Structure 1
Amino acid sequence: MALHRDIFWIGRQWAVTGSGIQAVDQRLKGAFDIDRAAVWDDDLFLSLRGQGWFNGADFEKALTVARTRFPAPPRAAPEPPSSVSPPAADASRTPDVSLQLETQGKLARFLPQWRVRP
């Protein structure tokens, strides 16, 4: 895959672009491109280290530049400890709601009809 149009840093083997970290070698066809959201994963170096063509120093520099360029995703805040809640109201009890239609002493109001004419 071709490099993204926004190139922030380019090394011998890796480039930091608008989409993340991309391999400069086009023969790899984007198989080792890293999305900008995955830049903060800890196991990136380990997954690529076994490749014969891999240049670790260049990748470390690209990873450093990408991590300064793309902010870390927000961490999920730990849940507050659940406090003891008061017992819920009795759900079997029906609320006292009047369902009677009140129409005495009220006149109906008729509105003129309208329509769109062609």
Structure 2
Amino acid sequence: MALHRDIFWVGRQWAVTGAGIQAVDQRLRGVLDIEIARLWDDDLVGSRRAKPGVNTADFDKALAVARERFPQPPASDPFVVQLVALGVVETPVVSRLVPAMQLRTEGRLARFLPQWRIRR
């Protein structure tokens, strides 16, 4: 599978993207990729780390960045726990910390809109 369009960190062998942890080498076709919902599954992470040819230092750095970027959903929320137990939730719950982008350009001509800048 191709790298997700949202790339947050790139190492030598691994990248943290909007889909989770992905191998940079596209010849693997997503075999070693880890989805966001399974970042906290220690058995899966251990099996990926044990594969031959995996750069463990790069993998550990990618895992640390991904777990910081996508925190584990709180286990105290009974609704989320019930959905996970039933297998209904396969994608993570959207973090309430990051607001969704809103575009307000309807009905305006593009040449009169100010150019946007990325603020840090």
TM range, normalised to the smaller chain?
0.5 to 0.7
Q: State the partner residue of 2:67.
A: 67
Mapped to 1, the partners of 2:49 and 2:6 lie a distance apart of: 26
Structure of higher CA gyration radius: 1
> How far is 1:76 from its partner?
4.6
- CA RMSD of superposed structures (Å): 1.6
Unaligned runs of 5+ in 1: 79-118
| Aligned equivalents of 2:66, 2:10: Cα separation in 1 | 11
CA distance in 2, matches of 1:63, 1:46: 11
The amino acid that maps onto 1:39 is L
Quote the Cα distance in structure 1 between the aligned partners of 2:23 and 2:61.
13
CA distance in 1, matches of 2:55, 2:13: 7
Provide the residue aligned with 2:44 in structure 1. 44
How much identity, in percent, do the aligned residues show?
68
CA distance in 1: counterparts of 2:55 and 2:62, whole angstroms: 11
- Match in the other structure for 2:9: 9
Within a 5 Å distance, the mapping from 1:15-94 to structure 2 comes to 15-76=15-76
Q: TM-score, normalised to structure 2's length?
A: 0.60
SS in 2 for 1:44: helix
- Cα pair 2:49 2:59 within 8 Å, conserved: no
Amino acid at match of 1:64: A
**Cα distance between partner residues in 2 of 1:49 and 1:2:** 21
Deviations, residues 20-74 of structure 1 (Å, cap 9, x unaligned): 0000010100011100111111223420233221111000000000011002122
Give distance in 1, aligned partners of 2:76 and 2:63: 23
Q: Give the residue type in structure 2 aligned to 1:66.
A: A
Count residues in correspondence. 78
AA paired with 1:32?
Answer: L
Q: After TM superposition, give the deviation of residue 2 of structure 1 in Å.
A: 0.8
